Amino acid sequence: MRREKEKAMPAKREMWKPGNMLYPTPAVMVSCSDGEGKPNIITVAWAGTICSDPPMLSISVRKERYSYGLIEASREFVVNLVNRSLAFAADYCGVKSGRDVDKFHEMGLTPVALPHVNTPGIGESPVCLECKVTQQIPLGSHDLFLAEVAGVSVDERYLDQKGKFCLNASGLVAYSHGEYYALGEKLGSFGYSVRKKPLKRTRVQNRQRR
């Protein structure tokens, strides 16, 4: 007589008060400018894609942050993706204020001119997204800046011989519950759960093809 498989009991759960626990999130360095040639960098963990046509993204920034006023006044910013080599600088730019220090100088980062905005990108970043603010929404502790992506600049080091951009080879970093992590093992690609596996040829089919 077959024994019924025992169902695994769900783990006990503890209820907490409402909070932001949507992790992991991208850790990005957002560059902005005062309009007079002085750039700044703010590290943001609350950033996301919101639309593909037109390409748009969003960032959330506290009102008391120095970069908040720069972005509000200029109506533009650059989202710079973070990889392993930028993790230390990303953390520094998240805890130090541009009111007190020149973050580009302190971290040895290269400001690079971009064609669609007056704000420089970070030359060491694998991807720089030029963004123009389309809407600013007050939410409470943060304002949400919705922006259209006006241009994309990529590091040619991550282009293969066929010109394909190998972004995942750049060592991207994610932020989770107060800690930084480098992306690790690939588990699949988009649509792999429903993709049909190629049929294996039988010995007869193989003989017929000879």
> What are the structural domains of the chain?
25-208 (2.30.110.10)
| pLDDT, position 141 | 96
Neighbour-count burial of 156, counting CB atoms closer than 10 A to its CB (0-12 exposed, 13-18 middle, 19+ buried)? exposed
Confidence of residue 132 (pLDDT cuts 50, 70, 90): very high
| pLDDT tops 80 at residue 158 | yes
Residues 176-186 have a mean pLDDT of 93
Tell me how far apart the alpha carbons of residues 129 and 67 are, in angstroms, rounded to a whole number.
17
| pLDDT tops 90 at residue 144 | yes
Tell me how far apart the alpha carbons of residues 14 and 82 are, in angstroms, rounded to a whole number.
34
Lowest mean pLDDT among 9-13, 74-78, 183-187: 9-13
